[in-house]
Amino acid sequence: MDRTRRAFLADVGRGMLVASVGAATAADLNLVPAAFAEDYKADRLSFGSLEPLAGLMQDTPADKQLPILVKKLQEGSSLRELVAAGALANTRQFGGQDYVGWHTFMALVPAFEMARELPEPRQALPVLKVLYRNAQTIQNNGGPRREVLKPVEPRSLPEGRPGTELLRETIGNKDPTAADATLVALARRRPEEAYNDLQPVVEEAIFPDADGIHCSVLAWRAWATLDLTGKEHAQTLLRQSIHYCVNMERRTANGLEPSVRSVLPRLLERYKLIGRSPGQRQPEDAWIVHLAQTINDGSREQAAEAVAAALGEGMDPEAVGEALSLAANQLLLCDQGRPTPTPTSGTKFLKGPNSVHGDSAGVHASDAVNAWRNIARVSNPRNAVASLIVAAYCVTPGVGNNSRVGKQLYPLPEHLEKVQGKDAAALLREAEQAIRNNDQPLACATVQRYGQLGNSPRAIFDLLLKYAVSEDGALHAEKYYRTATEEFAAARPAFRWRQLVALARVTASEYGQPAPGYAEACRLLKV
């Protein structure tokens, strides 16, 4: 009886230890039977030198993970390694099939880029914040035993059939296993070609609503992540888009068919955009404004045609992309805010009345356009023009949840009249106080006045970065901060400050909901 009791207590103790360190770690430490370990490790993707860190991130509960990660940084691991491992862990767990999961993945590279803007003692904060969210999301979805992505054997590719055709066929059949096998075979040849083969299928997954526009951001962030993981992981990261597109394809079973599937081929042919080099014509600022307004005022199909016509006239794709960015920015600056409190998937917070952060039309549209512009920059000529045409589908109030978009841009004249500051220092203080008061109009007005006076944008970026790191942001803080940063850098002087005005508005909207894990990360880093 005593021996049985000892065995029982040993099993209980072992179970508690496994629960605290995670199943895979327990297997590696021989804390569970060998048969259990073999069962756990069988049929599992492995990530080479990044596997121990990726496994730890999947196995370890969020509240226990941050101290381990900080210790690893102190022992010589880099933020690059942490982000790469976190991205691979997320991809293996969710495979582009979970809303909170893919939003967390899409925040990882932006968090790494944000870290590079911070002083060294604070650089780990945005990364640790997102890795905490990553761990929470993985654990809330069953952990490693519910992984989506498994190893697949590359299929034998038939001679003479384009990769896009093969991917379209398998995705159209709603067969993720066959589509995975096709992509893996294509990626093993050359990742760049596989990415180009994938883009036409991603374009066809655009359902112009709040759930259907993420395909561009997921596809772009997967490609951008290769700079951290290495291209040897391309087949794994790009499979997220396969699974996303298969899930979108299932919507067609209910009679839903994205109009872009018929409109895009027609526009490419009508404006003779296939088989030609991109144009180089540089328009005046007024042309950019006119195209942006045309995109905002028309239907999705009319907006797409306006973009195609501009490209057909030989306009530089960067100029066309800037008009798209300006149109998306206008959605955010014209947003009248949510009418009622709205929940956010994956967080305990509500997005309050009049809020515009998170999944608003302007944030969604801006992130999507930014992604399509980046895809265009790294793609072949056909995909470059197609990406910009499809981006026009994403600039619509329908891509935001509970969004009400008006006609007047923030800040209004009455908002500017309330600005008190006369110099850079006073305006910075006033902007920060407006953010902390959730005063969106005054935050917009002070930042606009700051820019009008010719002040350096760096101090404003530093202010807004501070809160993009500390606040929850309803899954979009990191991504949108990088969108605004990149679009500011790419914009003409006449338009660039609108990006910072919009970012100030989002920051004022999201303030007051501190990100889970942020305070603990500050404590561990002693900052």
pLDDT tens for 495-507 read 999 999 999 999 9
pTM over 0.75: yes
Decide if 404 contacts 335 (C-beta within 8 A). yes
Per residue of the chain (527 residues), give pLDDT as tens.
344 444 444 444 444 444 444 444 444 444 444 333 334 455 899 999 999 999 999 999 999 999 999 999 999 999 999 999 999 999 999 999 999 999 999 999 999 999 999 999 999 999 999 999 999 999 999 999 999 999 999 999 999 999 999 999 999 999 999 999 999 999 998 999 999 999 999 999 987 666 667 999 999 999 999 999 999 999 999 999 999 999 999 888 777 778 899 999 999 999 999 999 999 999 999 999 999 999 999 999 999 999 999 999 999 999 999 999 999 999 999 999 999 999 988 888 999 999 999 999 999 999 999 999 999 999 999 999 999 999 999 998 877 666 688 889 999 999 999 999 999 999 999 999 999 999 999 999 999 999 999 999 999 999 999 999 999 999 999 999 999 999 999 999 999 999 999 999 999 999 999 999 999 999 999 99
Residue 70 identity (one-letter amino acid): V
Q: In the 3-class helix/strand/coil scheme, how is 199-266 assigned residue by residue?
A: HHHHHCCCCCCCCCCHHHHHHHHHHHHHHHHCHHHHHHHHHHHHHHHHHHHHHHHHCCCCCHHHHHHH
Sign of CA dihedral 51, 57, 60, 65: positive
Determine the number of helices (DSSP H) and then strands (DSSP E) in the chain: 26, 2
